[in-house]
């Protein structure tokens, strides 16, 4: 649970560091697009991270299901949510930058999640993988 909090805090810090200069350069829409894109990516990433924490205590086959399922879940939620926003809300069609912000937010949250998940593993976890239950 602590790592999910670090994911959220790290994402918010990233947003502030990126959105403020972007707003100055490209206007208010850049700040809005970046915030929405980050939220859109943060929700499934946090869910995937919780699933990963659960799966580390399980058998190897469940860990593989988590990796593949987490990737699919994250991509599906982000792409379908982004497409729904783009198609249903005209504001997201006004400027070219929305999908670029989705890509940046997706890659950032994915990288941060991998860092936090791998840092959370101990040397014991790597030497003695989970036993089949």
Average pLDDT of the residues in 101-119? 91
Distance CA 128, CA 111 (A): 25
Distance CA 109, CA 77 (A): 14
Secondary structure of residue 59 in the 3-state scheme? coil
Q: What would the DSSP string read from start to end of 11-36?
A: HHHHHHHHHHHHHHHH-HHHHHHHHH
Interval 81-98: pLDDT, tens: 999 999 999 999 887 789
Q: Does residue 133 register a pLDDT over 60? A: no
């Amino acid at each position: 649970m602590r790592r999910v909090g670090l994911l959220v805090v790290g994402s918010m810090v990233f947003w502030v560091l990126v959105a403020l200069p972007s707003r100055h350069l490209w206007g208010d829409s850049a700040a809005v697009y970046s915030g929405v894109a980050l939220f859109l990516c943060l929700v499934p990433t946090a869910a995937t991270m919780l699933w990963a924490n659960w799966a580390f205590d399980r058998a190897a086959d469940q860990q593989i299901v988590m990796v593949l399922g987490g990737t699919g879940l994250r991509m599906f939620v982000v792409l379908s949510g982004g497409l729904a926003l783009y198609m249903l809300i005209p504001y997201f069609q006004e400027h070219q930058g929305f999908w670029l912000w989705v890509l940046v937010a997706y890659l950032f949250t994915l990288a941060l999640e991998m860092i936090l998940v791998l840092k959370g593993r101990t040397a014991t976890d790597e030497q003695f993988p989970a036993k089949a239950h």
